[in-house]
Amino acid sequence: MKAAICAYISAIARLDSVPGCLSLLITGDEEGRWREYGTKSVLGWMKANDINIDYCVLGEPSSKERLGDCISVGRRGSVNFALLCRGVQGHVAYPELAHNPIDDILCILRKIKDTPLDSGTEHFQPSNLEITSVDVGNSVENVIPASATAAFNIRFNDLHTAESLYQNIDAVCASVTNNYTLSYRSFGTAFVNKPCSITAALCAVVKEVTGLDAELITWGGTSDACFISDHCPVVELGLPSGTAHKVDECASVADILALTEIYQRFINRYKRRPQIHLPSGLVPNYSKLSAPTPAPLTRIEVGIGAGIGHERFVIKGGKKSNEDTASVFLLGKELAYDTARGQVDRLTNALGFVQKLGLPIMTGVILGSSIMAIFGKLAWPAIVMLVVFTAIFFGAGKLMAKFAAGINGDEAKNFNCVDGGNASLGGASRS
């Protein structure tokens, strides 16, 4: 599910420059009750500040059987319904004194399940309703329950909205009973993007890398593309979805590498004609972004960083908290090797600690060994301790000096972002 994020970060890391401005939007809002505080919040912030996206590629696992066999250009809408039917609790031996809500809820569910919502459209398959739960919470076998609940989901095409579906189902419920409550939560409206030259370019790149002619699809789970589609054209291209959300979810290393190559070639091919400038004061100007002057420890960082391939992106807009999981990775890149630097810093701190304590410890060892040698007691252990602490003390000093020397010739790789249009690569989970 998340390997596409690794793929497009690796693709960007290989670039010397890109046309226009390239941004990453990585959020964790789609799952659970915090879904309102990720992509939707960031897009609202961008709109309020007049920041526009021209085109977006979302790293959803859109492929079906082989990488690149499908590219999603639209998604069905999704809406969850909760139905509560009330009855009159009573003893099963006296049904005339009770009213069984299970009869009502089963009748409603049978009607909405057996009635087709539609027969599909030009771009979408028929809408589908799936019952996900029926419950009465009754563990007593001889008691008619007071209420019954059901939950169901509808994946709908562009003939419907969540509100229109609610009206239809509410009418069915009302035809069966007047003692019910129906509520719903919408998770996106159906949308489809019209084919354009940029989508055609992405298909061409997929053909170059995989040899496949990608099918443009609209089926599958919901994604953040339904929010992004209100702001710009968006397509979804990612790994095969066969093991998504399963135990031992996995992806082929070859597929991840090929997806990285697809993203890299697409970015290189992407050309944006109009120039779009971000409002001043919101984000730094990265039109002439260059790597920072090498600081001490750069040689060690480059050595470790090259091994782990770790990079840092500039983070602007949005905070990380229980109520706001939005993180926007905006406009450019600088070589940082944060993980490597952290390891080296911890090592340096440890060596500094040794040096800091080394002098008093050595002084104590010298005095102790001298006293023991004078009185002829434990002279050899004292001498060994003296040699060991001397080696540690001076060794730590030399190692720290070597680290601090750094380098002058090793420069971090530049990543230049020229003025122009904005492109976005996004990663999010699927429900």
Residue 310 lies in a domain: no
Q: What is the pTM (predicted TM-score) of this model?
A: 0.60
Q: Say if residue 283 is in the same domain as residue 421.
A: yes
What region, left, alpha or beta, does residue 49 occupy, with left being phi > 0 and alpha being psi -120 to 50 degrees? alpha
- Average pLDDT for residues 15-42, to the nearest whole number? 72
Judge whether residue 101 has pLDDT over 60.
Answer: yes
**Domain limit, last residue, from 186, 221, 245:** 186
Is there a single domain that holds both residue 41 and residue 88? no
Domain of 104, CATH number, reads: 3.30.70.360
The yes-or-no verdict on residue 266 having pLDDT over 60 is: yes
Cα dihedral 231, 237, 242, 247 sign: negative
Whether pLDDT at 351 is above 90: no
The model's confidence at residue 424, banded by pLDDT at 50, 70 and 90, is low
- For residue 348, the one-letter residue type is T
When pLDDT is averaged across residues 100-108 and rounded to a whole number, the result is 98
Is 198 a domain residue? yes
Q: Which of 120, 155, 186 lies at the terminal end of a domain, its last residue?
A: 186
Mark whether 65 and 211 lie in a shared domain. yes
CATH number of the CATH domain containing 282: 3.40.630.10
Same domain, 67 and 200: yes
Same domain, 196 and 267: yes
Q: What is the CA radius of gyration of the chain?
A: 31
Structure tokens belonging to residue 100: 């069984």
For residues 143 and 117, membership in a common domain is answered with yes
Mean pLDDT across the stretch 238-252? 84
- Is residue 107 over pLDDT 80? yes
The answer to the question of residue 319 being in a domain is: no
Q: Which of 423, 374, 391 is nearest to 273 (CA)?
A: 423
Mean pLDDT within 291-317: 34
Query: pLDDT grade, residue 260 (50/70/90)?
Result: very high
256 in a structural domain: yes
How many beta carbons lie within 10 A of that of residue 36, not counting itself? Answer: 11
Domain check: are 88 and 179 in the same one? yes
Strand 90-91 to strand 147-156: parallel, antiparallel, or no bridges (unpaired)? unpaired
| 19 and 104 within one domain | no
Q: Which residues contact 382 (CB under 8 A, 6 or more apart)?
A: 365, 368, 369, 372, 373
Across residues 67-79, what is the average pLDDT? 93
Query: Tokens 């969540």 sit at which residue?
Result: 162
Looking at the domain assignment, is residue 303 inside a domain? no
**Within a domain: residue 299?**
no
More confident residue, 317 or 176: 176
Question: pLDDT (tens digit, 9 = 90+) per residue, 176-193?
Answer: 999 999 999 998 899 998
Examine the domain organization and report whether 19 and 148 are in the same domain.
no
In this predicted structure, what is the pLDDT of residue 380? 63
349 belongs to a structural domain: yes
Asked if residue 237 and residue 258 are part of one domain, the reply reads yes
C-beta separation of 203 from 85 below 8 A = no
Do 15 and 103 sit in the same domain of this protein? no
164 part of a folded domain: yes
91-95, 291-295, 298-302, 405-409: range with highest mean pLDDT:
91-95
CA distance 219 to 198: 21
Q: Which of 137, 155, 186 is the last residue of a domain?
A: 186
Q: Which domain holds residue 43?
A: 3-76+191-289+417-427
pLDDT at 313 over 50: no
- Residue 72 and residue 195 share a domain: yes
pLDDT value, residue 225 = 87
Give me the number of domains the chain comprises. Answer: 3
